[in-house]
Amino acid sequence: MTVSIYWFRNDLRLTDNAALAAACAASDELVLIHVRSPDETMATPWGFPRGGPHRRRFRDQALAGLRRGIVSRGGVLLCLDGKPEQMLPAMAQQIGATRLFCEIVAAPEEMAQAAALREAGLDVRDVWQSSLLNPADLPFDIDGLPEVFTAFRQAVEHAAVSPHPASAAPARLPPAPPRLELPLGSDQQAATPAGSLSLPFSNPTCDGSETSALAHLERYFASAAPQSYKQTRNRLMGVDYSTGVSPWLAVGALSPRTVFQHLRAHESRFGANDSTYWIWFELLWRDFFRFWSLKHGARLFRARGLGQQPPPGHDPQAFSRWCAGQTGHAFVDAGLRDLAATGTLSNRMRQVVASYLIHDLACDWRAGAAWFESRLTDYDVCSNHGNWLYIAGRGADPRQGRRFNPDKQAADHDPDGSYRARWADPHVGPAP
Ligand code: FAD
């Protein structure tokens, strides 16, 4: 009788979940667990808590959907509160499990959690599954990953590397052991979808669950919107100007391979063009930052990043005004109020506000990255740090940093001022 634990991390889905499939295949009895760590809400050195309300609510919705899917397949999902390094070995001991399955998350804290579980005596079988492309298929090993995105993309395209097909959800899950007793602090109730969430598209039936994610994919890729993605992707607001899949990718309610499959189906029906190519191109950026994290680990989190320049300075007052959307620059402030109020922000505005903090206010890029972590629904450690480092010129960008002129950006992307007018109320952005 083999009893195992499956630990859900940023993979809150049943479809195309290779780590979960491995756990099902190897176990007679399986306990499925999600652990909410207190570290997620601890104070940052910058004066605000690490995790914010938008992401928490979205993840709760994803968990509620996951639980429905698990229960309908004969399984049980436990949601525990505590440190995974402590909760999971305790649970393993209680149920007589020695093996734990999970996905690999390529960031220092998450790698340290897996190492601590191994030190506690668990046989941790972790599986890489968060990228579109399989690292083993790349035309270089991770240590040889090009430092610049264009070189990475060209090498991948030259070698014609393509994603593996997404796998189906398991029809049944192994049952939980009958002797399972719930530890104190565990939550057996379905996590409740609390209220509606501001997503980049205003559909009140949309939530963080895998079911909602798949419905969104179906709708978006059955429409003509992807045909003009390249022309619309720099818009600041509206519906379907970009794919809108990032919040689900971040919690793992969707896998990038499932997104890619829908993209290919769209191309078969409507034809491939520059715009549909550009969706693949952007998904490659996501992969690049994941592999880059795998290659450089904790070095990406240093103040000076990968570069040799001196560490950045910081101005706490200017940073506070930036967080609150009160810098005095109307376009920048609109973006920051949008972010604080909705938990989302267009890619263009992310670039503008990040550049403003780093290059105009001379603040530490890590403070901005932490604010994004606290506010963004789609926060993803690799994409967030990668993009901030890129704009700061302390990472993969061959040009030393990218400054976006905010006046020119406003003229180009908000020529009639409607975005600034939308966020003109100075009270919507909370100060940290
Ligand atoms: P689309 O334009 O439809 O793109 C499709 C997918 O491609 C996205 O969902 C995303 O997975 C990927 N992608 C697109 N652009 C990028 C990019 N520049 N870097 C990496 N992947 C990309 N994205 C996150 O998912 N989480 C973050 O925490 C995050 N932080 C960012 C911080 C800064 C400073 C900047 C400039 C960008 C950040 N991005 C982040 C990237 C990008 O802004 C979002 O992925 C995008 O806006 C999400 O909307 P979408 O799904 O409609 O994207």
CATH assignment of the domain containing 17:
3.40.50.620
What is the rounded CA–CA span in Å between residue 386 and residue 372?
13
CA 247 to centroid of ligand 1, rounded, Å: 9
What is the rounded CA–CA span in Å between residue 51 and residue 56?
7
- The last residue of one of the domains, among 244, 278, 297, is 297
- Taking CA atoms only, the protein residue closest to ligand 1 atom 38 is 384
Question: Would you say 103 and 129 are in contact if contact means Cβ atoms under 8 Å apart?
Answer: yes
Q: Are residues 248 and 276 in the same domain?
A: yes
Mean pLDDT of 178-182: 71
Q: Are residues 313 and 281 in the same domain?
A: no
CA 384 to centroid of ligand 1, rounded, Å: 8
Q: Ramachandran region of residue 343, left (φ > 0), alpha (ψ -120 to 50) or beta?
A: left
Q: Are residues 223 and 307 in the same domain?
A: no
Q: State how far Cα 22 lies from the chain centre.
A: 23
CA 149 to centroid of ligand 1, rounded, Å: 15
Atom in ligand 1 nearest the alpha carbon of residue 351: 36
Atom in ligand 1 nearest the alpha carbon of residue 289: 20
- Taking CA atoms only, the protein residue closest to ligand 1 atom 2 is 242
Q: Whose CA is closest to 209, among 14, 36, 8?
A: 14
CA 244 to centroid of ligand 1, rounded, Å: 9
Query: In this structure, is residue 134 part of a structural domain?
Result: no
Please check the confidence at residue 195 and state whether its pLDDT lies above 80. Answer: no
Query: In this structure, is residue 373 part of a structural domain?
Result: yes
CA 186 to centroid of ligand 1, rounded, Å: 33
Window from 71-80, 154-163, 196-205, 290-299 with minimum mean pLDDT: 196-205
CA 379 to centroid of ligand 1, rounded, Å: 9
Q: Given pLDDT bands bounded at 50, 70 and 90, which one contains residue 235?
A: very high
Mean pLDDT of 115-136: 98
Read off the pTM. 0.95
Q: Whose CA is closest to 133, among 109, 99, 156, 101?
A: 156
CA 246 to centroid of ligand 1, rounded, Å: 6
- Taking CA atoms only, the protein residue closest to ligand 1 atom 46 is 347
Integer CA distances (angstroms), 84 to 18, 90, 120, in order: 21, 10, 11
CATH assignment of the domain containing 361:
1.10.579.10
- The total domain count for the chain is 3
Query: In this structure, is residue 415 part of a structural domain?
Result: yes
CA 177 to centroid of ligand 1, rounded, Å: 40
Query: In this structure, is residue 153 part of a structural domain?
Result: no
The structure tokens 């049944």 sit at 172
**Strands 99-103 and 123-127: what pairing?**
parallel
**Strands 77-81 and 99-103: what pairing?**
unpaired
Q: Are residues 315 and 285 in the same domain?
A: no
Q: Are residues 112 and 30 in the same domain?
A: yes
- The last residue of one of the domains, among 111, 129, 147, is 129
> Could you tell me the residue range of the domain that residue 102 belongs to?
3-129
The structure tokens 């479809």 sit at 15
Query: In this structure, is residue 271 part of a structural domain?
Result: yes
Mean pLDDT of 319-327: 98
Query: In this structure, is residue 136 part of a structural domain?
Result: no
Q: Are residues 25 and 104 in the same domain?
A: yes
Render pLDDT for 19-44 as a digit per residue (tens, 0 to 9).
Answer: 999 999 999 999 999 999 999 889 99
Q: State how far Cα 318 lies from the chain centre.
A: 28
Residue 425 has a pLDDT of: 67
Q: Are residues 216 and 324 in the same domain?
A: no
Query: In this structure, is residue 427 part of a structural domain?
Result: no
Atom in ligand 1 nearest the alpha carbon of residue 368: 34
Contacts of 277 (CB under 8 A, 6+ apart): none
In DSSP notation, 239-307 reads: SSSS---HHHHHHTSS-HHHHHHHHHHHHHHH---HHHHHHHHHHHHHHHHHHHHHHHGGGGGSTTTTS
The structure tokens 């959307």 sit at 325
- Taking CA atoms only, the protein residue closest to ligand 1 atom 20 is 286
Render pLDDT for 251-310 as a digit per residue (tens, 0 to 9).
Answer: 999 999 999 999 999 999 999 999 999 999 999 999 999 999 999 999 999 999 998 889
**% of the chain with per-residue pLDDT over 70:** 91
Residue 206 has a pLDDT of: 81
Q: Are residues 402 and 328 in the same domain?
A: yes
Q: Which of 50, 241, 372, 378, when mutated, tests ligand 1's pocket best, judged by the most ligand atoms within 8 Å of its CB?
A: 378
CA 334 to centroid of ligand 1, rounded, Å: 19
Q: Are residues 263 and 349 in the same domain?
A: no
CATH assignment of the domain containing 230:
1.25.40.80
Q: Are residues 64 and 26 in the same domain?
A: yes
Query: In this structure, is residue 93 part of a structural domain?
Result: yes
In DSSP notation, 309-341 reads: SPPP---HHHHHHHHTT-SS-HHHHHHHHHHHH
Q: Are residues 287 and 315 in the same domain?
A: no
Q: Are residues 59 and 106 in the same domain?
A: yes
- The last residue of one of the domains, among 129, 149, 180, is 129
Mean pLDDT of 104-114: 95
426 or 206: which carries more pLDDT confidence?
Answer: 206
**DSSP H or E run through 370:** helix 365-375
Ligand 1: list residues with CB < 6 Å.
Answer: 233, 242-246, 249-250, 279, 282-283, 285-286, 289, 347, 350-351, 354, 372, 376, 378-380, 383-384, 387-388, 391
Q: Given pLDDT bands bounded at 50, 70 and 90, which one contains residue 199?
A: very low
